[in-house]
Chain A
């Protein structure tokens, strides 16, 4: 079956531009997570959705970052006025929200801000 997909796979942008990253979770997965991974580092939690609601936005680094989810399906992460420190791989994961709650990761979007 189809896994988590993300687009674009690579994005190069200029400092100050806005970018939008997309995540398509596994069908039927109610929970969706966004993480950021800088080169050689671990995963940094950004935000998670249960359905279309975001109970925990505590990881968003600044008000330049926002995310939404519609139809309990696709999610977009938007970064406004990008900065060089935003350069990272942005990973999306989804989960069926049962007790086990294993997260299935997408391939990520590599963002480079010049």
Chain B
């Protein structure tokens, strides 16, 4: 089977750094995605990891450890517009994504 765990909610202050963790158990692992979803909108792609290590993209970075079944999304220099849900999704084999329930991040001034 598959299981993906993320914290339900997190809060942080504008300008700070926040790390959102995701742990997973799945067979046929073939990559991990992070998506951002603002309330009432569709998810948008943030990052993709298939090899161990850190992928950096501007203010956002994503890390993967396949042996530990663990990933995190790091958001730096937080802005108010970063308030959203962050969805961790694992790709099984070569096709579908299995999504976690998402982490709702609230950024305060």
Chain A residues within CB distance 8 Å of chain B: 31, 33, 35, 41-45, 48, 50, 55-56, 59, 91, 100-108
Find out whether the CB atom of B48 lies under 8 angstroms from the CB atom of A56.
no
Dominant secondary structure at the A interface: strand
The answer on a CB contact under 8 Å between B42 and A105 is: yes
Closest 3 CB pairs of A and B: A42-B101, A105-B42, A43-B99
Measured CB to CB, the nearest residue on chain A to B103 is A42
Question: A-B contact count, CB below 8 Å?
Answer: 48
CB closest residue in chain B, given A108 = B42
8 contacting pairs across A/B (C-beta < 8 A): A33-B97, A42-B99, A42-B100, A45-B98, A91-B43, A101-B94, A106-B42, A108-B42
> Assuming the A-B contacts A100-B48, A102-B48, are A55 and B42 also in contact, with contact meaning beta carbons closer than 8 angstroms in the complex?
no
Whether B95 contacts A55 by the Cβ 8 Å rule is yes
We find that the number of chain B residues with CB closer than 8 angstroms to chain A is 20
A-contacting residues of B (Cβ < 8 Å)? Answer: 31, 33, 41-45, 48, 87, 89, 91, 94-102
Q: For residue A56, which residues in chain B have a CB less than 8 angstroms away from its CB? A: 95-96
Whole-angstrom distance between the alpha carbons of A104 and B100 in the complex? 17
- Judge whether B101 and A107 touch: CB under 8 Å: no
Given A42-B87, A43-B87, A105 and B44 touching (CB < 8 A)? yes
* In the complex, chain A residues whose CB is within 8 Å of the CB of B100: 42
CB-CB under 8 A from A35, the residues of chain B are 99
Complex CA–CA separation, A107 to B41 (angstroms):
6
Which residue of A is nearest B44, CB measured?
A105
In the complex formed, the residue of A with least CB distance to B8 is: A40
> Across the interface, do A91 and B42 meet the contact criterion of CB distance under 8 Å?
yes
Residues of chain B within 8 A (CB-CB) of A45 are 96-99
Q: State whether B42 touches A107 (Cβ < 8 A).
A: yes
CA distance A70 to B94 in the complex (A): 22
